[in-house]
Amino acid sequence: MVKSDQQLTAPPFPLPVLSPTINSVESAQADGDLAIALRSLSAWYGSFQALRDVTMAVLRQRITAIIGPSGCGKSTLIRCLNRMNDLIPGFRLTGQVLFDGQDIYSKRVDPVDVRRRIGMVFQKPNPFPKSIYENAAFGPRINGYVGNLDEIVERALLLAALWDEVKDKDKLHKSALTLSGGQQQRLCIARALAVEPEVILMDEPCSALDPVATLKIEDLMRELAQNYTIVIVTHNMQQAARVADSTAVLMMNEDRAGELIEYGPTREVFTNPKEKRTEDYITGRFG
């Protein structure tokens, strides 16, 4: 079932994304454009199978969107990418999640290292009940960063487009809970960036925000995609169409397990889907 690295086969979908040479996990890897490869990933909560046989590639410094009806396993899938599901009792998976060619679920890998390199932003803004500064400094502190903490914090807040709103000395040291929802979410992005990850996972990062705050975060994501690999789960198809380079569509099969039914460049998926079910979903006839 689990294949070795040498036997990497082309995924069951074409990948004419941006570079014409990329049409398989293999060539993406050869180009150094492959950040994460999922191979035959299945996942269970106890006896309930939430994901079935998902194979897909996440390209470096691109935005990959995962869309699909609610309950189809989008969160489960994205949380497999940084071993966040390890925290859930009864969770198990088969298949591989290859990050830089290494299976992050291999016994030799420490999940704490994985999460340091693959950061996460959650559905509901969840800043710590500490000051804005301490939130941004949290990751560097626990990871024993040397260097000027003030600079790291400022850089992270600048990257997250929050610095201008909080740069006053007394604002910076106020509780993060005094910020608006959108600001809190950008603080959570800054908090993740401060650890200098390579990949940022976002699970419906805008679902608790108003349209203006949502657009701000989308701009920010486009900005960040120049240097980071971003995976975003969204139930909002317009959002996927606006921000993502490639889009994956998940849907439940008859056993309620999530399956990848379509994956490709966002424009292709939205204008010329291979699957009837994708078309139905996108045009609102389903889900």
Ligand X SMILES: Nc1ncnc2c1ncn2[C@@H]1O[C@H](COP(=O)(O)OP(=O)(O)O)[C@@H](O)[C@H]1O
User: Residue 247 in contact with residue 59, Cβ under 8 Å?
Assistant: no
Contacting residue, 29, 75, 96, 278, with Mg ion by CB under 5 A: 75
Q: How far apart are CA 200 and CA 49, in angstroms?
A: 26
Q: Which stretch binds ligand X (CB under 6 A): 73-81, 170-178, 206-214, 237-245?
A: 73-81
Q: State which of residues 30, 88, 112, 177 lies at the interface with ligand X (CB under 6 A).
A: 88
Q: How far apart are CA 240 and CA 230, in angstroms?
A: 12
Q: Are 283 and 76 in contact (CB under 8 A)?
A: no
**Nearer to another protein by C-beta: 22 or 194?**
194
Tokens describing residue 242: 């606006």
Q: Which is nearer to ligand X, 73 or 265 (CB)?
A: 73
Binding piece for another protein, criterion CB under 8 A, among 8-16, 27-35, 108-116, 162-170: 108-116
Select 90 or 284, whichever has its Cβ closest to another protein. 90
* Smallest distance, another protein to C-beta of residue 119, A: 6
Using CB under 8 A, which of 32, 129, 147, 211 touches another protein? 129
Contact with ligand X (CB under 6 A) among 12, 16, 71, 101: 71
DSSP bridge partners of 263 = 248
Say if strands 34-45 and 91-99 run parallel, antiparallel, or are unpaired.
antiparallel
Alpha-helical regions (H) of the chain: 25-30, 74-80, 111-117, 132-142, 149-159, 163-166, 169-172, 181-193, 211-224, 237-243, 266-271, 276-282
User: Beta 246-252 vs 258-265: how paired, if at all?
Assistant: antiparallel
Site for another protein in 140-199 (CB under 8 A): 141-143, 188, 191-192, 195
Helix axes 181-193, 211-224, angle to 10 degrees: 20
Which of these, 112, 48, 40, 38, lies nearest to 80 by C-alpha position?
Answer: 38
**Interacting stretch for ligand X, rule CB under 6 A, among 66-74, 101-109, 126-134, 272-280?**
66-74
Interacting stretch for another protein, rule CB under 8 A, among 31-39, 138-146, 213-221, 253-261?
138-146
Residues in touch with Mg ion (CB under 5 A): 75
Residues in touch with another protein (CB under 8 A): 82, 84, 87, 89, 112-113, 115-116, 119-122, 124, 126-130, 138-139, 141-143, 188, 191-192, 195
Residues in touch with ligand X (CB under 6 A): 45, 48, 50, 70-76, 88
